[in-house]
Amino acid sequence: MMENVFMVTGASRGIGAATAALAADAGYRVVRASRSVEESVGDRGWDAKCDVSSWDSVQELMSRVESRWGRIDVVFANAGASVDTSFISDAGAEPAEWTGMVVTNVCGPAFTARAAMPALMRSGGHLVLTGSAAGRGVRPGSLYSATKWAITGLAQAIRAEAVGTGVRVTVVQPGLVDTDAIPASRAGDPKLRPEDVGRAVLYAVSQPSTVDVNEILIRPTGQAAHR
């Protein structure tokens, strides 16, 4: 019997790296996909180069993994980017810098889902997407927040289309997480650890096949709902 395979995008650091480690501890063969790794394949772990903003890159990786390891059971579409923005002032990144974030945060998970779904339908698998608490409320001037609103809608659209396929779809919406992407203005705020979010992902995928955990909102204790 082939062992279950868990793929994580954006796995080189933060939430992705923590979730990949937890998945390995749980007994999965783990594909750790990111743009910045040297390709390395072992019996139970695979560091794979993948740019989620490229449809060809994502599709090619899914094909390679299923060909080599025979199946894909969980795909965690986690890769993302963040830049500060304002629509009324020169604060934050220049508008020319916004495109990369939008493509990575919106097209990336969409490409990942489209490339993964054939394999997940064959395995009766699970698609997990990283949203954000910022995608549940208004954040003045934040295009990043708008991309995470899009992820909530994307997860719902995929789930609706996947009814009857056996594939489960979960969006995990973390509050502030202690990573290198934290704005300086929030350095003193309460923070989740990356592994806190990873445990939420593993909770969702460890439920019986009859249970579909649609959304998980997780904030650090003490974080205000509007932050």
| The token pair that represents 37 in the structure block | 């790794």
Q: Are strands 126-130 and 74-77 parallel, antiparallel or unpaired?
A: parallel
**144 is known as an active-site residue:** yes
d(CA 74, CA 61): 14
Structure-block tokens of residue 190: 């309460």
Amino acid at site 78: N
H or E stretch including 74? strand 74-77
Catalytic residue, chosen from 144, 168, 173, 201, is: 144
Of 123, 171, 117, give the one whose Cα is nearest residue 149. Answer: 171
Residue 7 CA to residue 76 CA, distance in Å, equals 6
Task: Give bridge partners of residue 45 from the DSSP assignment.
Answer: 30
Tell me phi and psi for residue 23, to 5 degrees.
-65, -40
Catalytic residues: 144
